[in-house]
Amino acid sequence: MSTIIETERLILRELLESDINEMFELDSNPLVHKFLGNKPISTKEQALEGIRFVRQQYTERGIGRFAAVEKSSGEFIGWSGLKLNQGEKEILNGFDNFIDVGYRFIPRYWGKGYATESAIATMDYGFKVMQYDTIYGAAEIENIASNIVLQKIGLQFVNKFLYEDIEVNWYELNKDNYGKKMS
Ligand SMILES: CC(C)(COP(=O)(O)OP(=O)(O)OC[C@H]1O[C@@H](n2cnc3c(N)ncnc32)[C@H](O)[C@@H]1OP(=O)(O)O)[C@@H](O)C(=O)NCCC(=O)NCCS
């Protein structure tokens, strides 16, 4: 996937094996994993496996999360983008074969609007370039920042469901409503 998306402050590009150190910094931080099942990684090998899994999705599913690079510093700050969820292990709220929007950043880059900025760009890519009909989003109800971002980029709350005994909010946006109402 050679796509590059540029926003005002970020470059979104494919995730590379050379991002291993930054991906390790991201995914070994317990704060980052607080609302992701509390399972931070502990080795660089796990970071590499994660990168390889995303790169495999680019080839096999035609889409995957983008690495996000801060233009002003040139630093890798985390990832943001769309994923085609497929197969039993990726079923969520009873859905299989669905596109969701997601983001994960190193904490020193939180609170700058980067999740919102990158997610707006990837939703646009999803509807206009990839021609998806519906894009979904999920966030633990206690993950305030993520719920705010999903609402700000226009997703509509649908229902609450339980995932591993934790309450999660489920959102969706259909192409027919895209761009009509941003909250
Ligand atoms: C979720 C995450 C990506 C948000 O990134 P971010 O770049 O800080 O998000 P933004 O700055 O675009 O927006 C966050 C919004 O939440 C608000 N917010 C964050 N924490 C909040 C809190 N505790 N109470 C109220 N509002 C809060 C911010 O003020 C901002 O809203 P605003 O722009 O209206 O002021 C980041 O916290 C992260 O990487 N978390 C770990 C991974 C994760 O949980 N991913 C999502 C899984 S569903």
Classify domain 5-133 at the CATH topology level: Aminopeptidase (3.40.630)
Res 182 pLDDT > 70: no
Query: Which of 110, 142, 161, 171 has the most ligand 1 atoms within 8 A of CB, as the residue to mutate?
Result: 110
User: What contacts 28, CB < 8 A, 6 or more positions away?
Assistant: 40, 41, 42, 47
pLDDT tens column, 7-24: 999 999 999 999 999 999
Name the residue type at position 165.
D
Per-residue pLDDT band for 180 (boundaries 50, 70, 90) equals confident
Pocket flag, ligand 1, residue 35 (CB < 6 Å): yes
pLDDT tens column, 48-58: 999 999 999 99
Strands 98-105 and 65-70, by their bridges, are unpaired
Task: Determine the distance separating the centroid of ligand 1 and the alpha carbon of 59, expressed in angstroms.
Answer: 30
Stretch 107-121: mean pLDDT? 98
**What pLDDT score does 179 carry?**
83
Residue carrying structure tokens 């999803």: 126
Pocket flag, ligand 1, residue 103 (CB < 6 Å): yes
* 6's tokens: 């540029």
**What pLDDT score does 181 carry?**
58
Strands 166-174 and 134-140, by their bridges, are antiparallel
Residue carrying structure tokens 């085609």: 84
Q: What is the pTM of this model?
A: 0.96
